[in-house]
């Protein structure tokens, strides 16, 4: 079976039932009729030209908060882009912990901004709300105005089929990022100075990891005479579509059963499957419960948000965090921060479990769909699309993700070699992962293909990319699962999407709740596991998998040529 590199399926959705209210920071993106009328009268310029509109308009944009961005209103890239495009952004910033709930509430209620950006609008939501007219189809805009979008389709030909819904429409633009180290993002980071001080070797098994955490807790590795060490912590995954992988289960569960962060994979029989009803999942929960019960896991690890985890890793004066999982060190420290602590956290290779399982999650599909949608509230959808298309430009991509040219980055000089051994494209001089106000730090859409990512000049003064490449190559790739186990991107009919929406909310709300209860001991694995499995079946897990299997077989018949 041949698989084409498109994008990781990001699943799960919470729609009409039991939607939680969500608080949002920044200005409220309400519906202002006068503003809409004024915006709708501003004609866009020809495709590819700037400014996008001759008369300044306001675009109301809702996006998730980004701890690496100080203030979107005063951000230097925001100001640069407004001057370039003549489009002012009125931001509605949603706290990271409520992104999923806020997205679902906004879509279901119709209280929408012009644009929803970087909030992981799922294929199911695109199909459902696209059919209802809540999300606008972008096909005609792409054809007429998509200068950079069409260049992206040409260079990365699998992007377009990945983002095309079953009805043939494109309702959301992606943020393709062909990132090698991101393709194996379920990593674990451990504070190496503590290993050295306590004369401990790098753990290679779950048993050895337990002993290391016990030493971290009892032997005062930070040397301050206070039992303030937190051996292991995390932050829950914020919604099914999150790729942050900081949940306590994200790395460790793969020592007991294959558990990609999407919670879906293809098993050895070629069937779509889930990990959370397997005996290995039960064994992994028992292991996590032991860590929790013995005080080796942070008691707040199941409730912390991403920013709080970084604060824990950056504790002033002395380090207190021993280990946490995440795609890179920025999940638990400030990259290039003044403490320099990020350089002292090193990756742990997949731990061998009690039954010998030792695998690395693999995500070869690097398209990141659902990152920019235009709603039916947009007064000037043409300008909104032109705004999006401009973000795919190579220089604008570097500005939005890194910063100002010749300050945070520069074009490569003759003779400089990139990570791929070919002529380099650019030199990165920025400090990734720190809170700053110069760029959007990967909020918003951008286009970063291999030709750009691997064209980075290796810089010893800014070693992050080299570190991540080497850690991934040496420690994770040897244990990487086969591509055949990875569920490719699937497009669903509206009926399938609607059914999946209800099923996935029920299933994932329940499995996340029970995972937490089993870990803290509020529910007994011995006494309640069978009841847990029965409940999953009563929630129609089998039908949920059946729908995915139908879509998977349809995908395979189309793409296995």
Residue 557: band (very low, low, confident or very high) from pLDDT cuts 50, 70, 90: confident
The structural domains of the chain, with segments of one domain joined by +, span: 25-178+366-401, 186-360+493-561
Task: Count Cβ atoms below 10 Å from residue 461 Cβ, excluding itself.
Answer: 5
Find the mean pLDDT for residues 113-136: 94
Find the mean pLDDT for residues 374-388: 98
Q: What pLDDT is recorded for position 24?
A: 32
| Nearest CA among 16, 42, 92 for reference residue 383 | 42
CATH superfamily of 25-178+366-401: Periplasmic binding protein-like II (3.40.190.10)
State how far the Cα of 255 lies from the Cα of 358, in Å rounded to an integer: 5
Instruction: Give all strands (DSSP E) within 218-337, no chain letters.
Output: 230-233, 265-266, 272-273, 321-325
Global pTM value: 0.73
Residue 461: band (very low, low, confident or very high) from pLDDT cuts 50, 70, 90: confident
- Which of 47-61, 261-275, 344-358, 485-499 is predicted least confidently? 485-499
State how far the Cα of 144 lies from the Cα of 132, in Å rounded to an integer: 24
Find the mean pLDDT for residues 229-258: 89
Q: What pLDDT is recorded for position 241?
A: 55
| Phi, psi for residue 311 in degrees, rounded to 5 | -60, -35
Using the predicted structure, report yes or no on whether residue 153 has a pLDDT greater than 60.
Answer: yes
Provide CB contacts within 8 A for 325, sequence distance 6+: 186, 187, 188, 189, 234, 245, 246, 247, 248, 250, 251, 252, 331
Find the mean pLDDT for residues 368-383: 97
Q: What pLDDT is recorded for position 39?
A: 61
State how far the Cα of 329 lies from the Cα of 323, in Å rounded to an integer: 11
State how far the Cα of 404 lies from the Cα of 412, in Å rounded to an integer: 15
Q: Residue 169 corresponds to which tokens in the numbers above?
A: 């429409």
Tens-place pLDDT, residues 28-65: 333 444 444 446 558 999 999 999 999 999 999 999 99
Q: What pLDDT is recorded for position 7?
A: 32
Tens-place pLDDT, residues 391-429: 999 999 999 999 999 999 999 999 998 887 789 999 998
Find the mean pLDDT for residues 224-233: 97
Asked if 326 and 242 touch (Cβ cutoff 8 Å), the reply is no
Query: In the chain, what is the greatest distance between 2 CA atoms, to the nearest angstrom?
Result: 70
| For the chain, percent of residues with pLDDT exceeding 90 | 75
Residue 240: band (very low, low, confident or very high) from pLDDT cuts 50, 70, 90: low
Domain 25-178+366-401 and domain 186-360+493-561 have a common topology? yes
Using the predicted structure, report yes or no on whether residue 23 has a pLDDT greater than 50.
Answer: no
Find the mean pLDDT for residues 117-124: 92
Find the mean pLDDT for residues 505-533: 97
State how far the Cα of 399 lies from the Cα of 74, in Å rounded to an integer: 15
Q: What pLDDT is recorded for position 49?
A: 97
Beta bridge partners of 116: 62, 373
Question: Taking all residues of the chain, what is their mean pLDDT, rounded to a whole number?
Answer: 90
Using the predicted structure, report yes or no on whether residue 9 has a pLDDT greater than 80.
Answer: no
Tell me the three state secondary structure of residue 282: helix
Tens-place pLDDT, residues 285-318: 999 999 999 999 999 999 999 999 999 999 999 9
* CATH annotation of 186-360+493-561: 3.40.190.10
Tens-place pLDDT, residues 163-198: 988 888 999 999 999 888 999 999 999 999 999 999
- Which of 21-35, 344-358, 496-510 is predicted least confidently? 21-35
């Amino acid at each position: 079976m041949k698989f084409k590199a498109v994008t990781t399926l990001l699943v799960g959705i919470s729609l009409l039932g039991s939607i939680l209210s969500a608080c949002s920071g920044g200005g409220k993106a309400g519906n202002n009729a006068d503003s809409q009328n004024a915006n709708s009268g501003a004609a866009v310029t020809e495709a590819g030209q700037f400014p996008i509109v001759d008369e300044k308009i306001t675009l109301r944009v809702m996006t998730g908060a980004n701890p690496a961005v100080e203030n979107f209103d005063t951000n230097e890239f925001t100001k640069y882009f407004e001057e370039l495009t003549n489009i002012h952004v009125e931001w509605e910033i949603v706290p990271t912990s409520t992104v999923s709930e806020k997205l679902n509430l906004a879509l279901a209620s119709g209280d929408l901004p012009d644009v929803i950006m970087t909030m992981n609008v799922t294929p199911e939501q695109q199909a459902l709300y696209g059919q209802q007219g809540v999300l606008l189809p972008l096909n005609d805009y792409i054809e007429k105005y998509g200068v950079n979008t069409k260049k992206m389709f040409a260079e990365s030909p699998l992007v377009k089929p990945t983002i095309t819904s079953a009805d043939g429409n494109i309702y959301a633009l992606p943020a393709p990022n062909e990132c090698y180290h991101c393709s194996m993002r379920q990593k674990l980071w451990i504070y190496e100075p503590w290993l050295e001080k306590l004369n401990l070797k790098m753990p290679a098994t779950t048993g050895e990891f337990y002993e290391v955490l016990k030493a971290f807790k009892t032997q005062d590795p930070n040397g301050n005479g206070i039992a303030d060490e937190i051996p292991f912590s995390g932050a829950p995954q914020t919604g099914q579509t999150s790729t942050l992988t900081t949940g306590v289960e994200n790395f460790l569960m793969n020592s007991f059963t294959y558990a990609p962060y999407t919670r879906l994979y293809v098993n050895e029989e070629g069937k779509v499957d889930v990990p959370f009803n397997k005996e290995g999942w039960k064994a992994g929960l028992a292991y996590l419960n032991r860590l929790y019960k013995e005080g080796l896991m942070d008691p707040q690890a199941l409730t912390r948000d991403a920013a709080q985890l970084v604060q824990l890793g950056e504790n002033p004066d002395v380090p207190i965090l021993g280990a946490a999982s995440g795609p890179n060190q920025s999940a638990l420290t400030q990259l290039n921060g003044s403490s320099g602590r990020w350089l002292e956290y090193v990756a742990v290779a997949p731990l061998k479990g009690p039954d010998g399982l030792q695998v690395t999650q693999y995500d070869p599909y690097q398209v990141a769909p659902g990152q920019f949608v235009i709603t039916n509230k947009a007064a000037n959808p043409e300008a909104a699309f032109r705004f999006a298309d401009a973000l795919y430009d190579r220089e604008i991509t570097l500005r939005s993700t890194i910063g100002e040219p010749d300050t945070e980055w520069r074009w490569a000089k003759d003779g400089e070699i990139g990570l791929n051994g070919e002529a380099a494209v650019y030199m990165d001089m920025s400090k990734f992962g720190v809170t700053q106000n110069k760029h959007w730090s990967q909020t918003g859409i951008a286009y970063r293909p291999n030709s750009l990512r691997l064209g980075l000049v290796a810089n010893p003064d800014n070693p992050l990319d080299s570190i991540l490449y080497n850690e991934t190559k040496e420690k994770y790739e040897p244990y990487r699962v086969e591509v055949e186990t990875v569920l490719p991107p699937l497009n669903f009919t509206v009926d399938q999407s609607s059914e999946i929406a209800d099923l996935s909310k029920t299933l994932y709300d329940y499995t996340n709740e029970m995972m937490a209860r089993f870990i803290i001991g509020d529910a007994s694995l011995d006494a309640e596991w069978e009841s847990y499995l029965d409940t999953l079946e009563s929630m129609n897990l089998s039908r949920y998998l059946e729908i995915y299997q139908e879509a998977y077989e349809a995908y395979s018949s189309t793409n296995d040529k």
